[in-house]
Structure 1
Amino acid sequence: MNWHNEPEMTRRVAEAAGWVLDVDGCIVRTAKAGGAGGVPIEGAAELLDWLHATGKQIVVCTNASQRPVSHYATHLRDIGLKVADADMITAATAAAGHIRAVHGEGPVVVLGEDGLFEALADAGVRIAALGETPAAVVVGAADTYASRDINAACLAIADHGAAFYLTVDTPWFHGGAGRSVSSSTAVGRAVQGITGVEPIVCGKPSTALAGVLRARLGEPERDIVIMGDMASIEVRMAREMGALGVLVLSGGTAAEDLPDLPETDRPHLVAENAAALLRALTTK
Protein backbone atom coordinates (compact mmCIF):
# COMPACT_ATOMS: atom_id res chain seq x y z
CA MET A 1 0.00 0.00 0.00
CA ASN A 2 1.12 3.55 -0.73
CA TRP A 3 1.50 5.37 2.58
CA HIS A 4 1.99 8.76 0.94
CA ASN A 5 -1.16 10.74 1.63
CA GLU A 6 -3.08 11.48 -1.52
CA PRO A 7 -4.52 14.99 -2.03
CA GLU A 8 -8.06 13.67 -2.56
CA MET A 9 -8.03 11.77 0.75
CA THR A 10 -6.59 14.79 2.56
CA ARG A 11 -9.41 16.89 1.10
CA ARG A 12 -12.06 14.40 2.27
CA VAL A 13 -10.62 14.37 5.78
CA ALA A 14 -10.47 18.18 5.87
CA GLU A 15 -14.10 18.44 4.75
CA ALA A 16 -15.51 15.69 6.99
CA ALA A 17 -18.26 17.07 9.21
CA GLY A 18 -17.85 14.68 12.16
CA TRP A 19 -14.66 13.93 14.07
CA VAL A 20 -13.85 11.39 16.78
CA LEU A 21 -10.55 12.06 18.57
CA ASP A 22 -8.70 9.65 20.82
CA VAL A 23 -7.03 11.05 23.96
CA ASP A 24 -3.96 9.08 25.06
CA GLY A 25 -1.12 9.30 22.55
CA CYS A 26 -3.27 11.32 20.17
CA ILE A 27 -3.97 14.70 21.79
CA VAL A 28 -2.32 14.07 25.19
CA ARG A 29 1.09 12.64 26.02
CA THR A 30 0.64 10.62 29.19
CA ALA A 31 1.45 7.32 30.88
CA LYS A 32 -2.05 6.92 32.32
CA ALA A 33 -5.46 6.33 30.77
CA GLY A 34 -7.76 9.22 29.94
CA GLY A 35 -5.00 11.79 29.71
CA ALA A 36 -4.44 11.80 33.48
CA GLY A 37 -1.37 13.81 34.45
CA GLY A 38 -0.49 14.39 30.81
CA VAL A 39 0.42 17.34 28.60
CA PRO A 40 -0.95 18.30 25.18
CA ILE A 41 0.77 16.76 22.19
CA GLU A 42 2.18 19.29 19.74
CA GLY A 43 -0.60 20.85 17.71
CA ALA A 44 -3.48 19.28 19.67
CA ALA A 45 -4.88 22.56 21.00
CA GLU A 46 -4.60 24.19 17.57
CA LEU A 47 -6.28 21.23 15.89
CA LEU A 48 -9.21 21.42 18.31
CA ASP A 49 -9.43 25.18 17.71
CA TRP A 50 -9.54 24.57 13.94
CA LEU A 51 -12.23 21.91 14.30
CA HIS A 52 -14.38 24.26 16.38
CA ALA A 53 -13.76 27.22 14.05
CA THR A 54 -14.75 25.22 10.96
CA GLY A 55 -17.97 23.95 12.53
CA LYS A 56 -17.03 20.29 12.88
CA GLN A 57 -19.03 18.07 15.21
CA ILE A 58 -16.54 16.65 17.71
CA VAL A 59 -16.51 13.65 20.00
CA VAL A 60 -13.49 13.01 22.22
CA CYS A 61 -13.43 9.30 22.96
CA THR A 62 -11.25 7.50 25.47
CA ASN A 63 -11.10 3.85 26.50
CA ALA A 64 -10.62 5.00 30.10
CA SER A 65 -13.44 4.09 32.49
CA GLN A 66 -12.12 4.64 36.01
CA ARG A 67 -13.25 8.27 36.42
CA PRO A 68 -16.38 10.18 35.32
CA VAL A 69 -16.50 12.08 32.05
CA SER A 70 -16.37 15.38 33.93
CA HIS A 71 -13.07 14.39 35.56
CA TYR A 72 -11.33 13.65 32.26
CA ALA A 73 -12.83 16.63 30.42
CA THR A 74 -11.90 19.04 33.21
CA HIS A 75 -8.29 17.88 33.09
CA LEU A 76 -8.18 18.37 29.32
CA ARG A 77 -9.51 21.91 29.68
CA ASP A 78 -7.04 22.61 32.50
CA ILE A 79 -4.13 21.80 30.16
CA GLY A 80 -5.48 23.96 27.37
CA LEU A 81 -7.62 21.60 25.29
CA LYS A 82 -11.15 22.83 24.56
CA VAL A 83 -13.24 19.74 25.32
CA ALA A 84 -16.73 20.09 26.79
CA ASP A 85 -18.12 17.43 29.11
CA ALA A 86 -20.93 16.83 26.63
CA ASP A 87 -18.45 16.14 23.81
CA MET A 88 -16.67 13.33 25.65
CA ILE A 89 -17.36 9.59 25.68
CA THR A 90 -15.57 7.03 27.84
CA ALA A 91 -15.63 3.25 27.70
CA ALA A 92 -17.79 3.45 30.83
CA THR A 93 -20.45 5.67 29.21
CA ALA A 94 -20.44 3.43 26.14
CA ALA A 95 -20.94 0.34 28.31
CA ALA A 96 -23.69 1.99 30.34
CA GLY A 97 -25.57 3.08 27.23
CA HIS A 98 -25.33 -0.37 25.67
CA ILE A 99 -26.42 -2.14 28.85
CA ARG A 100 -29.39 0.19 29.23
CA ALA A 101 -30.43 -0.50 25.63
CA VAL A 102 -30.17 -4.28 26.05
CA HIS A 103 -31.13 -4.87 29.70
CA GLY A 104 -33.15 -1.83 30.68
CA GLU A 105 -32.72 -0.91 34.34
CA GLY A 106 -30.73 -4.07 35.06
CA PRO A 107 -29.83 -4.77 37.80
CA VAL A 108 -26.09 -5.28 37.30
CA VAL A 109 -23.02 -6.37 39.25
CA VAL A 110 -20.15 -3.90 38.81
CA LEU A 111 -16.39 -4.34 39.12
CA GLY A 112 -14.94 -0.86 38.76
CA GLU A 113 -14.82 2.64 40.25
CA ASP A 114 -16.81 5.87 40.22
CA GLY A 115 -16.50 6.42 36.48
CA LEU A 116 -18.48 3.26 35.76
CA PHE A 117 -20.92 3.64 38.65
CA GLU A 118 -21.75 7.23 37.64
CA ALA A 119 -22.19 6.29 33.98
CA LEU A 120 -24.59 3.49 34.88
CA ALA A 121 -26.58 5.75 37.21
CA ASP A 122 -26.82 8.45 34.52
CA ALA A 123 -28.10 5.82 32.08
CA GLY A 124 -30.74 4.65 34.57
CA VAL A 125 -29.17 1.25 35.29
CA ARG A 126 -29.47 -0.09 38.85
CA ILE A 127 -26.79 -1.88 40.86
CA ALA A 128 -27.89 -5.33 42.01
CA ALA A 129 -28.78 -5.52 45.71
CA LEU A 130 -27.67 -8.43 47.91
CA GLY A 131 -29.69 -11.51 46.98
CA GLU A 132 -31.09 -9.96 43.79
CA THR A 133 -30.60 -11.88 40.54
CA PRO A 134 -28.50 -9.69 38.21
CA ALA A 135 -29.16 -9.27 34.51
CA ALA A 136 -25.54 -8.46 33.74
CA VAL A 137 -22.00 -8.08 35.02
CA VAL A 138 -19.76 -5.24 33.83
CA VAL A 139 -16.04 -4.81 34.47
CA GLY A 140 -14.26 -1.46 34.28
CA ALA A 141 -10.94 -0.05 35.43
CA ALA A 142 -10.06 0.27 39.12
CA ASP A 143 -7.03 0.51 41.37
CA THR A 144 -8.35 -2.30 43.58
CA TYR A 145 -11.00 -5.01 43.27
CA ALA A 146 -12.60 -6.65 46.32
CA SER A 147 -12.61 -10.44 46.36
CA ARG A 148 -16.31 -10.42 47.42
CA ASP A 149 -17.20 -8.43 44.29
CA ILE A 150 -15.21 -10.74 42.04
CA ASN A 151 -16.97 -13.69 43.66
CA ALA A 152 -20.39 -12.07 43.11
CA ALA A 153 -19.56 -11.35 39.47
CA CYS A 154 -18.40 -14.90 38.77
CA LEU A 155 -21.45 -16.44 40.50
CA ALA A 156 -23.81 -14.15 38.62
CA ILE A 157 -22.39 -15.32 35.32
CA ALA A 158 -21.80 -19.00 36.14
CA ASP A 159 -24.92 -19.70 38.23
CA HIS A 160 -27.49 -17.21 36.94
CA GLY A 161 -26.52 -16.71 33.30
CA ALA A 162 -25.91 -12.98 33.67
CA ALA A 163 -24.60 -11.28 30.55
CA PHE A 164 -20.91 -10.35 30.80
CA TYR A 165 -19.59 -6.97 29.64
CA LEU A 166 -16.09 -5.53 29.62
CA THR A 167 -15.24 -1.88 29.01
CA VAL A 168 -12.07 -2.68 27.03
CA ASP A 169 -10.03 -5.76 26.17
CA THR A 170 -6.80 -4.14 24.97
CA PRO A 171 -3.83 -5.25 27.13
CA TRP A 172 -2.14 -1.86 27.27
CA PHE A 173 -2.89 1.84 27.24
CA HIS A 174 -0.41 3.72 25.04
CA GLY A 175 -0.12 7.41 25.81
CA GLY A 176 3.06 8.52 24.07
CA ALA A 177 4.97 8.33 27.36
CA GLY A 178 5.27 4.60 27.79
CA ARG A 179 2.43 2.21 28.39
CA SER A 180 0.35 1.02 31.33
CA VAL A 181 -1.59 -2.18 31.79
CA SER A 182 -5.36 -2.14 31.33
CA SER A 183 -6.67 -3.29 34.71
CA SER A 184 -10.16 -3.89 33.37
CA THR A 185 -8.77 -6.24 30.73
CA ALA A 186 -6.72 -8.13 33.29
CA VAL A 187 -9.65 -8.62 35.67
CA GLY A 188 -12.16 -9.25 32.91
CA ARG A 189 -10.03 -12.00 31.44
CA ALA A 190 -9.63 -13.52 34.91
CA VAL A 191 -13.43 -13.65 35.26
CA GLN A 192 -13.60 -15.22 31.81
CA GLY A 193 -11.08 -17.84 32.87
CA ILE A 194 -13.18 -18.76 35.90
CA THR A 195 -16.59 -18.77 34.21
CA GLY A 196 -15.67 -19.87 30.71
CA VAL A 197 -17.79 -17.01 29.29
CA GLU A 198 -16.28 -14.53 26.87
CA PRO A 199 -17.21 -10.91 27.60
CA ILE A 200 -18.91 -8.50 25.23
CA VAL A 201 -16.60 -5.51 24.82
CA CYS A 202 -18.12 -2.01 24.85
CA GLY A 203 -15.12 0.31 24.34
CA LYS A 204 -13.01 0.92 21.22
CA PRO A 205 -13.06 -0.72 18.70
CA SER A 206 -16.30 -2.55 19.55
CA THR A 207 -19.49 -2.56 17.51
CA ALA A 208 -21.32 -1.31 20.63
CA LEU A 209 -19.29 1.91 20.68
CA ALA A 210 -19.37 2.21 16.89
CA GLY A 211 -23.15 2.27 17.06
CA VAL A 212 -23.10 5.03 19.70
CA LEU A 213 -20.71 7.14 17.61
CA ARG A 214 -22.58 6.68 14.35
CA ALA A 215 -25.88 7.59 16.03
CA ARG A 216 -24.36 10.78 17.43
CA LEU A 217 -22.43 11.87 14.34
CA GLY A 218 -24.71 11.05 11.45
CA GLU A 219 -25.77 8.64 8.75
CA PRO A 220 -23.41 6.44 6.67
CA GLU A 221 -23.31 8.82 3.71
CA ARG A 222 -21.74 11.51 5.89
CA ASP A 223 -17.95 11.39 6.16
CA ILE A 224 -16.71 10.82 9.70
CA VAL A 225 -13.06 10.93 10.76
CA ILE A 226 -11.74 8.74 13.56
CA MET A 227 -8.32 9.93 14.68
CA GLY A 228 -6.03 7.98 16.99
CA ASP A 229 -2.58 6.57 17.63
CA MET A 230 -3.45 2.86 17.52
CA ALA A 231 -4.07 1.29 14.13
CA SER A 232 -5.53 -1.79 15.81
CA ILE A 233 -8.07 0.32 17.72
CA GLU A 234 -9.09 3.63 16.14
CA VAL A 235 -8.30 2.77 12.51
CA ARG A 236 -9.91 -0.65 12.82
CA MET A 237 -13.08 0.91 14.23
CA ALA A 238 -13.07 3.47 11.42
CA ARG A 239 -12.84 0.71 8.83
CA GLU A 240 -15.66 -1.24 10.46
CA MET A 241 -17.86 1.88 10.59
CA GLY A 242 -17.15 2.99 7.04
CA ALA A 243 -15.41 6.08 8.43
CA LEU A 244 -12.03 7.64 7.57
CA GLY A 245 -9.21 6.40 9.81
CA VAL A 246 -6.51 8.98 10.56
CA LEU A 247 -3.42 7.60 12.30
CA VAL A 248 -1.00 9.82 14.21
CA LEU A 249 2.41 8.33 15.01
CA SER A 250 2.62 9.91 18.46
CA GLY A 251 1.57 6.92 20.53
CA GLY A 252 1.11 3.18 20.12
CA THR A 253 1.68 2.60 16.38
CA ALA A 254 5.09 3.54 14.96
CA ALA A 255 6.13 4.29 11.39
CA GLU A 256 7.97 0.98 11.15
CA ASP A 257 4.71 -0.85 11.92
CA LEU A 258 2.90 0.51 8.86
CA PRO A 259 4.08 -1.95 6.17
CA ASP A 260 2.89 -4.97 8.18
CA LEU A 261 -0.55 -3.70 9.15
CA PRO A 262 -3.43 -5.96 8.09
CA GLU A 263 -6.07 -4.57 5.78
CA THR A 264 -8.44 -4.00 8.71
CA ASP A 265 -5.95 -1.64 10.38
CA ARG A 266 -4.68 0.39 7.42
CA PRO A 267 -5.26 4.13 7.84
CA HIS A 268 -6.64 6.41 5.17
CA LEU A 269 -4.29 9.19 6.27
CA VAL A 270 -1.07 9.19 8.34
CA ALA A 271 0.58 12.10 10.16
CA GLU A 272 3.46 12.37 12.59
CA ASN A 273 1.28 14.11 15.18
CA ALA A 274 -1.63 16.54 15.54
CA ALA A 275 0.49 19.47 14.39
CA ALA A 276 1.53 17.71 11.18
CA LEU A 277 -2.05 16.70 10.50
CA LEU A 278 -3.30 20.26 10.92
CA ARG A 279 -0.62 21.53 8.51
CA ALA A 280 -1.68 18.98 5.92
CA LEU A 281 -5.36 19.88 6.27
CA THR A 282 -4.88 23.64 6.07
CA THR A 283 -2.18 23.85 3.38
CA LYS A 284 -3.70 25.13 0.15
Structure 2
Amino acid sequence: MTYKGYLIDLDGTIYLGTKPIPAGRRFVERLQQKHIPFLFVTNNTTKTPQVVQQRLADEFGIFVDEAVIYTATLATIDYMDSRGLGKTFYAIGEAGLIESISAAGYIWDTETPDYVVVGLDSHVTYRQFELATLAVQKGALLIGTNPDKNIPTERGLVPGAGSLIALMETATQQEAVIIGKPNRYIMESALRELGLPKHDVLMVGDNYETDIQAAIQDGIDSLLVLTGFTQKEEIAGLPVAPTYVRDSLDDWQV
Protein backbone atom coordinates (compact mmCIF):
# COMPACT_ATOMS: atom_id res chain seq x y z
CA MET A 1 0.00 0.00 0.00
CA THR A 2 1.13 3.55 -0.74
CA TYR A 3 0.87 6.04 2.13
CA LYS A 4 0.44 9.78 1.69
CA GLY A 5 2.12 10.67 4.97
CA TYR A 6 4.19 9.26 7.82
CA LEU A 7 4.37 9.64 11.58
CA ILE A 8 7.89 8.70 12.65
CA ASP A 9 9.46 7.97 16.02
CA LEU A 10 13.00 9.20 16.72
CA ASP A 11 14.70 7.29 19.58
CA GLY A 12 15.51 3.80 18.36
CA THR A 13 14.17 4.51 14.88
CA ILE A 14 16.26 7.36 13.48
CA TYR A 15 19.04 7.20 16.05
CA LEU A 16 19.97 5.14 19.11
CA GLY A 17 21.09 7.47 21.88
CA THR A 18 24.10 9.23 20.38
CA LYS A 19 24.59 6.57 17.71
CA PRO A 20 23.10 7.22 14.27
CA ILE A 21 20.96 4.65 12.49
CA PRO A 22 22.03 5.25 8.87
CA ALA A 23 18.93 3.55 7.44
CA GLY A 24 16.82 6.09 9.33
CA ARG A 25 18.54 9.02 7.65
CA ARG A 26 18.18 7.39 4.24
CA PHE A 27 14.48 6.79 4.91
CA VAL A 28 13.92 10.48 5.71
CA GLU A 29 15.84 11.50 2.61
CA ARG A 30 13.63 9.28 0.43
CA LEU A 31 10.54 10.93 1.86
CA GLN A 32 12.00 14.37 1.21
CA GLN A 33 12.98 13.48 -2.34
CA LYS A 34 9.42 12.31 -3.09
CA HIS A 35 7.86 15.27 -1.24
CA ILE A 36 5.92 12.94 1.06
CA PRO A 37 4.84 14.79 4.23
CA PHE A 38 5.99 13.42 7.57
CA LEU A 39 6.02 14.36 11.23
CA PHE A 40 8.47 13.18 13.86
CA VAL A 41 6.31 12.19 16.84
CA THR A 42 8.50 11.72 19.86
CA ASN A 43 7.81 11.03 23.52
CA ASN A 44 11.08 12.75 24.40
CA THR A 45 10.38 15.93 26.39
CA THR A 46 13.93 16.86 27.38
CA LYS A 47 14.50 19.06 24.31
CA THR A 48 12.49 21.69 22.45
CA PRO A 49 11.66 21.10 18.76
CA GLN A 50 14.31 23.68 17.87
CA VAL A 51 16.98 21.78 19.80
CA VAL A 52 15.83 18.47 18.28
CA GLN A 53 16.07 20.03 14.82
CA GLN A 54 19.61 21.22 15.50
CA ARG A 55 20.65 17.87 16.95
CA LEU A 56 19.32 16.00 13.93
CA ALA A 57 21.40 18.23 11.68
CA ASP A 58 24.59 18.38 13.73
CA GLU A 59 24.80 14.78 14.96
CA PHE A 60 22.96 12.74 12.36
CA GLY A 61 23.05 14.72 9.11
CA ILE A 62 19.26 14.96 8.91
CA PHE A 63 17.99 18.37 7.82
CA VAL A 64 14.32 19.16 8.49
CA ASP A 65 12.13 22.10 9.42
CA GLU A 66 11.31 22.61 13.09
CA ALA A 67 7.62 22.35 12.15
CA VAL A 68 7.92 18.60 11.44
CA ILE A 69 8.91 17.84 15.04
CA TYR A 70 5.97 17.15 17.37
CA THR A 71 6.94 16.29 20.93
CA ALA A 72 5.00 15.00 23.90
CA THR A 73 5.66 18.42 25.43
CA LEU A 74 3.64 20.14 22.71
CA ALA A 75 0.87 17.57 23.11
CA THR A 76 0.92 18.13 26.89
CA ILE A 77 0.50 21.88 26.43
CA ASP A 78 -2.38 21.27 24.02
CA TYR A 79 -4.02 19.07 26.64
CA MET A 80 -3.53 21.63 29.42
CA ASP A 81 -5.03 24.33 27.21
CA SER A 82 -8.03 22.11 26.48
CA ARG A 83 -8.66 21.43 30.18
CA GLY A 84 -8.56 25.11 31.12
CA LEU A 85 -8.09 24.47 34.85
CA GLY A 86 -5.78 27.43 35.32
CA LYS A 87 -2.40 28.77 34.26
CA THR A 88 -0.01 27.56 36.97
CA PHE A 89 2.17 24.46 36.94
CA TYR A 90 4.95 22.57 38.62
CA ALA A 91 7.01 20.07 36.67
CA ILE A 92 9.57 17.35 37.03
CA GLY A 93 11.42 17.53 33.77
CA GLU A 94 14.26 19.08 31.85
CA ALA A 95 14.55 22.37 29.99
CA GLY A 96 12.67 21.22 26.91
CA LEU A 97 9.57 20.61 29.04
CA ILE A 98 9.69 23.48 31.52
CA GLU A 99 10.72 26.21 29.08
CA SER A 100 8.06 25.21 26.56
CA ILE A 101 5.24 25.16 29.12
CA SER A 102 6.38 28.54 30.45
CA ALA A 103 6.54 29.94 26.92
CA ALA A 104 2.93 28.85 26.44
CA GLY A 105 1.87 31.23 29.20
CA TYR A 106 1.90 28.99 32.28
CA ILE A 107 3.36 30.27 35.57
CA TRP A 108 5.70 28.21 37.79
CA ASP A 109 4.18 27.43 41.19
CA THR A 110 5.69 25.03 43.71
CA GLU A 111 2.89 25.32 46.29
CA THR A 112 -0.58 25.11 44.74
CA PRO A 113 -0.22 24.67 40.99
CA ASP A 114 -3.14 23.73 38.76
CA TYR A 115 -1.04 21.05 37.05
CA VAL A 116 1.85 18.82 38.06
CA VAL A 117 3.60 17.58 34.93
CA VAL A 118 6.06 14.69 35.12
CA GLY A 119 8.50 13.95 32.32
CA LEU A 120 12.00 12.58 32.01
CA ASP A 121 14.54 14.29 34.27
CA SER A 122 17.99 12.77 34.54
CA HIS A 123 18.85 15.03 37.50
CA VAL A 124 15.65 14.69 39.53
CA THR A 125 15.92 14.89 43.32
CA TYR A 126 13.83 13.57 46.18
CA ARG A 127 12.89 17.18 47.05
CA GLN A 128 11.26 17.58 43.63
CA PHE A 129 9.18 14.47 44.20
CA GLU A 130 8.16 15.86 47.60
CA LEU A 131 6.94 19.14 46.09
CA ALA A 132 5.10 17.36 43.29
CA THR A 133 3.43 14.90 45.66
CA LEU A 134 2.28 17.62 48.05
CA ALA A 135 0.92 19.69 45.16
CA VAL A 136 -1.16 16.77 43.89
CA GLN A 137 -2.47 16.18 47.41
CA LYS A 138 -3.64 19.83 47.37
CA GLY A 139 -5.60 19.27 44.18
CA ALA A 140 -3.23 19.66 41.22
CA LEU A 141 -3.97 17.51 38.17
CA LEU A 142 -1.20 14.94 37.70
CA ILE A 143 -0.05 14.66 34.08
CA GLY A 144 2.55 12.23 32.75
CA THR A 145 4.12 13.30 29.48
CA ASN A 146 4.73 9.76 28.29
CA PRO A 147 4.71 6.19 29.65
CA ASP A 148 8.10 5.00 28.34
CA LYS A 149 9.50 2.73 31.04
CA ASN A 150 12.91 2.70 29.39
CA ILE A 151 14.91 4.60 26.79
CA PRO A 152 17.03 2.70 24.26
CA THR A 153 20.60 3.99 24.18
CA GLU A 154 23.90 2.74 22.85
CA ARG A 155 24.60 1.51 26.44
CA GLY A 156 21.32 -0.38 26.77
CA LEU A 157 17.88 0.38 28.21
CA VAL A 158 17.88 3.13 30.85
CA PRO A 159 14.95 4.46 32.96
CA GLY A 160 12.39 6.57 31.09
CA ALA A 161 9.69 9.03 32.12
CA GLY A 162 7.27 6.20 32.84
CA SER A 163 9.49 5.10 35.71
CA LEU A 164 9.25 8.55 37.31
CA ILE A 165 5.49 8.73 36.71
CA ALA A 166 5.08 5.32 38.41
CA LEU A 167 6.83 6.70 41.48
CA MET A 168 4.46 9.69 41.54
CA GLU A 169 1.40 7.48 41.13
CA THR A 170 2.56 5.37 44.05
CA ALA A 171 3.32 8.40 46.22
CA THR A 172 0.03 10.19 45.48
CA GLN A 173 -2.17 7.11 45.07
CA GLN A 174 -3.54 8.79 41.96
CA GLU A 175 -3.42 7.74 38.32
CA ALA A 176 -1.72 10.23 36.04
CA VAL A 177 -3.22 11.46 32.78
CA ILE A 178 -0.78 10.12 30.18
CA ILE A 179 -0.31 12.23 27.05
CA GLY A 180 2.39 10.57 24.92
CA LYS A 181 2.39 7.39 22.88
CA PRO A 182 0.49 5.06 23.07
CA ASN A 183 -2.16 7.52 24.24
CA ARG A 184 -4.56 8.55 21.50
CA TYR A 185 -4.30 12.21 22.45
CA ILE A 186 -0.84 12.69 20.97
CA MET A 187 -1.75 10.67 17.87
CA GLU A 188 -4.91 12.64 17.12
CA SER A 189 -3.02 15.89 17.67
CA ALA A 190 -0.21 14.70 15.37
CA LEU A 191 -2.69 13.77 12.64
CA ARG A 192 -4.16 17.28 12.81
CA GLU A 193 -0.66 18.71 12.48
CA LEU A 194 0.07 16.48 9.49
CA GLY A 195 -3.27 17.33 7.90
CA LEU A 196 -4.09 13.83 6.65
CA PRO A 197 -6.75 11.25 7.58
CA LYS A 198 -5.49 8.24 9.48
CA HIS A 199 -6.13 5.76 6.64
CA ASP A 200 -3.53 7.61 4.53
CA VAL A 201 -0.84 7.56 7.23
CA LEU A 202 1.71 5.01 8.46
CA MET A 203 3.21 5.11 11.97
CA VAL A 204 6.87 4.06 12.03
CA GLY A 205 8.65 3.12 15.24
CA ASP A 206 10.84 0.68 17.15
CA ASN A 207 8.80 0.30 20.36
CA TYR A 208 5.77 -1.98 20.27
CA GLU A 209 4.53 -0.77 23.66
CA THR A 210 4.40 2.90 22.60
CA ASP A 211 4.78 3.53 18.86
CA ILE A 212 2.94 0.49 17.54
CA GLN A 213 0.31 0.34 20.27
CA ALA A 214 -0.42 4.02 19.62
CA ALA A 215 -1.15 3.19 16.00
CA ILE A 216 -3.18 0.07 16.80
CA GLN A 217 -5.32 1.84 19.39
CA ASP A 218 -6.01 4.74 17.03
CA GLY A 219 -6.69 2.65 13.93
CA ILE A 220 -3.51 3.65 12.07
CA ASP A 221 -1.33 1.23 10.08
CA SER A 222 2.05 0.59 11.68
CA LEU A 223 5.58 -0.36 10.72
CA LEU A 224 7.74 -1.90 13.46
CA VAL A 225 11.44 -1.52 12.70
CA LEU A 226 13.79 -3.77 14.68
CA THR A 227 16.52 -1.23 15.41
CA GLY A 228 15.67 -0.26 18.99
CA PHE A 229 13.40 -1.38 21.80
CA THR A 230 11.35 -4.35 20.51
CA GLN A 231 13.38 -7.38 19.46
CA LYS A 232 12.70 -9.93 16.70
CA GLU A 233 12.19 -12.81 19.14
CA GLU A 234 9.30 -10.92 20.77
CA ILE A 235 7.21 -10.62 17.59
CA ALA A 236 5.56 -14.04 17.73
CA GLY A 237 4.18 -13.32 21.18
CA LEU A 238 2.74 -9.86 20.49
CA PRO A 239 -1.01 -9.64 21.26
CA VAL A 240 -1.80 -7.72 18.04
CA ALA A 241 0.68 -7.81 15.19
CA PRO A 242 2.00 -4.60 13.61
CA THR A 243 0.82 -4.06 10.05
CA TYR A 244 4.43 -4.48 8.87
CA VAL A 245 7.74 -5.52 10.43
CA ARG A 246 11.15 -4.73 8.95
CA ASP A 247 14.69 -5.34 10.15
CA SER A 248 15.75 -1.98 8.72
CA LEU A 249 14.09 1.05 7.15
CA ASP A 250 16.26 0.35 4.10
CA ASP A 251 13.82 -2.53 3.52
CA TRP A 252 10.81 -0.19 3.24
CA GLN A 253 9.78 1.37 -0.07
CA VAL A 254 8.03 4.73 0.14
TM-score (norm 1): 0.82
Quote the Cα distance in structure 1 between the aligned partners of 2:77 and 2:239: 31
CA contact (8 A) 2:206 2:227 kept: yes
**Aligned partner letter, 2:222:** G
**Alignment correspondent of 1:144:** 123
**Alignment correspondent of 1:240:** 217
Give me the identity figure in percent.
24
Unaligned runs of 5+ in 1: 1-11, 31-36
**Aligned partner letter, 1:224:** V
SS in 1 for 2:123: coil
CA contact (8 A) 1:238 1:245 kept: yes
Q: Which deviations, in whole Å up to 9, do the C-alpha atoms of 1:24-77 show, x marking residues without a partner?
A: 1111122xxxxxx232x1322221111122222211122211222222221111
**Alignment correspondent of 1:113:** 94
Residue 249 (structure 1) aligned to one of 218, 222, 226: 226
**Alignment correspondent of 1:122:** 103
Quote the Cα distance in structure 1 between the aligned partners of 2:232 and 2:53: 30
**Aligned partner letter, 2:244:** L
Q: CA deviation at 1:232?
A: 1.8
**Alignment correspondent of 2:158:** 180
CA contact (8 A) 1:25 1:228 kept: yes
- Structure with higher Rg: it is 1
Residue 156 (structure 1) aligned to one of 113, 135, 154: 135
CA contact (8 A) 1:175 1:252 kept: no
Change (3 A) 1:147 1:85: same
**Alignment correspondent of 1:275:** 250
**Aligned partner letter, 1:27:** I
Equivalent positions of 1:16-35 (< 5 A) are 16-30=3-17
Change (3 A) 1:219 1:75: closer
Quote the Cα distance in structure 2 between the aligned partners of 1:155 and 1:242: 38
CA contact (8 A) 1:229 1:251 kept: yes
Structure 1 vs Structure 2 CA RMSD:
1.9
**Aligned partner letter, 1:245:** S
**Alignment correspondent of 2:22:** 42
Aligned length: 253
Q: Which deviations, in whole Å up to 9, do the C-alpha atoms of 1:187-218 show, x marking residues without a partner?
A: 22222111100111111111221221122223
Change (3 A) 1:141 1:191: same
Q: Which deviations, in whole Å up to 9, do the C-alpha atoms of 1:79-124 show, x marking residues without a partner?
A: 2112322111222222122112213652111111211112212333
Equivalent positions of 1:196-207 (< 5 A) are 196-207=173-184
**Aligned partner letter, 2:116:** V
SS in 1 for 2:202: strand
Residue 95 (structure 1) aligned to one of 73, 76, 82: 76
Residue 67 (structure 1) aligned to one of 44, 47, 51: 47
